[in-house]
């Protein structure tokens, strides 16, 4: 119940190809986030799963049935859109029950299902209002309720929180997560916001140019990005990228950069390392300022910019001739012009092949 899969799907409009050949298998009850910059094809893929746009090649399966040619209403899905898309001339209650009413369901059943959804999302006081009389957050809750009423196995969310302000966004994010825990449906959620992706997802599919770059748990996406794109896209401030070459010396793999070398002994290579151009990525939050513990790579640099962000402070320095950011505690006393020692653990870093951009 509720497994979704897209198999060798191609989507395009006229001559413009958005997705050339994409496959994804989503297990029942999973919360999947499709994450990527605008134009990466994530919404297109979601709409194809919903049946709102036709695919050119491949198949879409939902709940063990081939629904490639099925109408949206016959796919067993509920969908929430970015712009809420509530029917403006109908009250909240009518919005919730519209689908059931046109399907000709008995009145008692409609009332029961609306009441259940309304209770779950605390919409009871709003039932008689028109969408125009609701705030953004309330509107989106009604939109979620409309999908809920359909009692479908699969929920599709198309950037549902993008139109809300930061506070509401984090509130509703929690509500959506709770909803998933209560209902246990399969959920596919499109967003360009990495915080939403990391907090909500069981697995994240990071997309770029119609291709899934990495499909893994939030932990893996963050700590073991599969390629340079994923590494750069996730994390704020972005991962520090150091250009250099990988070479074997005295039986040890070393990463040589302009001005020094990093011992790669502790780095967990994915495959057997090969000498050549490489890029070493280190997250700003994995760097410590101060004296180094053994086994850690240590160096120092001059502070060029200090950006206090409240709970934490981003310190800019230079490494290998390029800007380098370090995240330190908000109470830290680092100030402009200081010469600071800093160090990081190579086992938490990410090394990429410079040519292919793939993780080493």
Partner 1 sequence: MSEAAVPQGTRPKTFDVGRLGVYAVLIVASLFFLIPLWVMLMTSFKTMAEIREGQILSWPSAFTAEAWPKAWLSACTGLTCDGVRVGFWNSVSILIPSVIASIALGALTGYAMTFYRVRGANLLFAILLIGAFIPYQVFIYPMVRVFSLIGIYNSLLGIVVVHVIFGLSLMTLLFRNYFSSLPVELFNAARVDGAGFFTILRHVILPMSAPIIIVATILQVTGIWNDFILGLTFAGRDYRPMTVLLNNIVNSTQGEAAYNVDTAATILTALVPLAVYFASGRWFVRGVAAGAVKG
Task: Kindly indicate which of the ranges 73-81, 170-178, 329-337, 346-354 contains the residues binding partner 1, using the contact rule CB under 8 A.
Answer: 73-81
Binding letters toward partner 1, positions 149-188, x by CB under 8 A: -x-------x------------------------------
Report d(CA 39, CA 43) in Å as an integer: 8
Among 85, 163, 170, 199, binds partner 1 (CB under 8 A): 85
Give the nearest distance from C-beta 88 to partner 1 in angstroms. 6
Among 12, 72, 232, 357, binds partner 1 (CB under 8 A): 72
User: Given the structure tokens 């919730």, which residue do they identify?
Assistant: 96
Q: Print burial letters for 328-360: b (CB count within 10 Å at least 16), e (below 16).
A: beeebebeeeeebebbbbbebbbbbbbeebebb
Contact 68, 75 (CB under 8 A): no
Per-residue DSSP letter, 293: P
Q: Is it true that the peptide bond before 237 is cis, omega within 30 degrees of 0?
A: yes
Report d(CA 96, CA 141) in Å as an integer: 11
Give the nearest distance from C-beta 108 to partner 1 in angstroms. 19
Considering only residues 272 to 311 of the shown chain, the ones binding partner 1 according to CB under 8 A are none
Binding letters toward partner 1, positions 5-44, x by CB under 8 A: ----------------------------------------
DSSP H or E run through 257: strand 252-257
Rg (CA), the chain: 24
Q: Which is nearer to partner 1, 95 or 194 (CB)?
A: 95
Contact 160, 85 (CB under 8 A): no
Count CB atoms within 10 A of the CB of residue 162.
Answer: 14
Give the nearest distance from C-beta 20 to partner 1 in angstroms. 22
Query: Residue 253 pairs with which residues in a beta bridge?
Result: 248
Residue 103 is a binding residue for partner 1 (CB under 8 A): yes
Helix/strand/coil for 296: coil
Q: Which is nearer to partner 1, 75 or 283 (CB)?
A: 75
Task: Kindly indicate which of the ranges 27-35, 78-86, 205-213, 338-346 contains the residues binding partner 1, using the contact rule CB under 8 A.
Answer: 78-86
How far CA 342 is from CA of 292, 319, 322, 325, 351, in Å, comes to: 7, 11, 15, 11, 19
Give the nearest distance from C-beta 213 to partner 1 in angstroms. 27
Among 15, 16, 38, 71, binds partner 1 (CB under 8 A): 71
Residue 98 is a binding residue for partner 1 (CB under 8 A): yes
Among 52, 127, 241, 261, binds partner 1 (CB under 8 A): 52
Query: Which residues sit at the interface with partner 1, rule CB under 8 A?
Result: 47, 50-52, 71-73, 77-79, 81-83, 85-90, 98-99, 102-103, 143, 146, 150, 158
């Amino acid at each position: 119940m509720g497994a979704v899969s897209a198999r060798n799907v191609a989507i395009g409009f006229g001559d413009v190809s958005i997705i050339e050949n994409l496959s994804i298998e989503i297990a029942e009850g999973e919360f999947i986030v499709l994450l990527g910059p605008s134009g990466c094809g994530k919404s297109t893929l979601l709409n194809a799963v919903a049946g709102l746009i036709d695919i050119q090649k491949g198949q879409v399966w939902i709940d063990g049935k081939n629904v490639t040619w099925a109408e949206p209403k016959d796919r067993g899905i509920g969908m929430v859109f970015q712009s809420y898309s509530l029917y403006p001339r109908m009250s909240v209650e009518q919005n919730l029950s519209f689908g059931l009413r046109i399907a000709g369901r008995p009145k008692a059943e409609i009332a029961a299902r609306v009441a259940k959804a309304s209770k779950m999302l605390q919409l009871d006081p709003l039932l008689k209002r028109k969408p125009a009389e609701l705030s953004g957050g309330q509107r989106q809750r009604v939109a979620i309720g409309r999908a809920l009423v359909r009692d479908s196995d699969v929920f599709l969310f198309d950037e549902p929180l993008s139109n809300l302000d930061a506070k509401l966004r984090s509130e509703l994010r929690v509500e959506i997560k709770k909803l998933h825990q209560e209902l246990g449906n399969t959920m596919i959620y499109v967003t360009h916001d990495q915080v939403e992706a990391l907090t909500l997802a069981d697995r994240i599919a990071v997309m770029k140019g119609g291709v899934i770059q990495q499909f893994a748990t939030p932990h893996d996406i963050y700590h073991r990005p599969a390629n340079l794109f994923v590494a750069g896209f996730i994390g704020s401030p972005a991962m520090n990228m150091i250009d250099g070459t990988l070479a074997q010396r005295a039986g040890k793999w070393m990463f040589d950069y302009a001005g020094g070398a990093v011992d790669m002994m502790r780095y967990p290579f994915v495959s057997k390392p090969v000498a050549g151009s490489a890029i070493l990525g280190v997250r700003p939050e994995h760097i410590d300022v101060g004296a180094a513990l053994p086994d850690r790579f240590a160096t120092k640099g001059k502070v060029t910019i200090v950006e206090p962000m409240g709970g934490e402070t981003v310190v800019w320095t230079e490494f290998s001739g390029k800007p380098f950011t370090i995240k330190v505690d908000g109470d830290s006393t680092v100030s402009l012009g200081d010469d600071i020692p800093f160090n990081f653990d190579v086992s938490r870093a990410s090394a990429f092949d410079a040519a292919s951009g793939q993780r080493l």
